[in-house]
Amino acid sequence: MTQATEKTIFYTITTILVAGMAILFIFITSSSVAKDAQIPQDLKKNIIINRFLSSDCFTVKDDKSSITTNYIIDWNKFTQENLDHCYNINIEDIQNKVFRLSIKHNNEERYLRSKNWGEKFGVKKDVFTILLYDQGNYYKEDLSIEYD
């Protein structure tokens, strides 16, 4: 064999090995990145529940400073209209979480349901102890959030 032939064989084998290593590297990193980029289902649920407990949807808001107070629910804001506004979803989209919120206060229990709520869901339930603001007073109550 001549020296030129040996160089051609060497470069051919080296090119095949480098290309194979590059393809293997890309395959390993892309599957790892795709796995890491998936959002756990509980995270999506927790973000939405946090919106109910921390945003201006239902919480008490100081008029002077415009600061909302987490976990202090204004009884007058705890309405179906506010839920529909804060969790405005497309009913047709099956990816959306379904929610039903309820608070019992002074012998009255209010149920708020997301637009896509149905009675046939496999429902899970979280209960949060909150302060409920009603007519200038604060009451310790339980907020029940059912979801699927």
Two tokens, residue 84: 């529909």
Two tokens, residue 42: 């509980």
**Per residue in 61-70, is it b (16+ CB within 10 Å) or e — as a string?**
eeeeeeebee
Two tokens, residue 137: 């007073």
Question: DSSP class of residue 66?
Answer: -
The per-residue pLDDT of the chain, averaged, comes to 84
What are the boundaries of each domain within the chain?
Answer: 1-38, 41-147
Taking the whole predicted model, whether its pTM rises above 0.85 is answered as: no
Neighbours of 99 (CB within 10 A): 23
Q: Provide φ and ψ at 60, rounded to 5°.
A: -70, 135
- Mean pLDDT in residue range 74-86: 91
- Residue 108 three-state SS: strand
Residue 48 has pLDDT above 90, yes or no: no
CA distance 66 to 62: 5
- Residue 22 three-state SS: helix
More confident residue, 96 or 84: 84
CA distance 63 to 60: 9
More confident residue, 31 or 8: 8
Contact between 57 and 85 (Cβ < 8 Å): yes
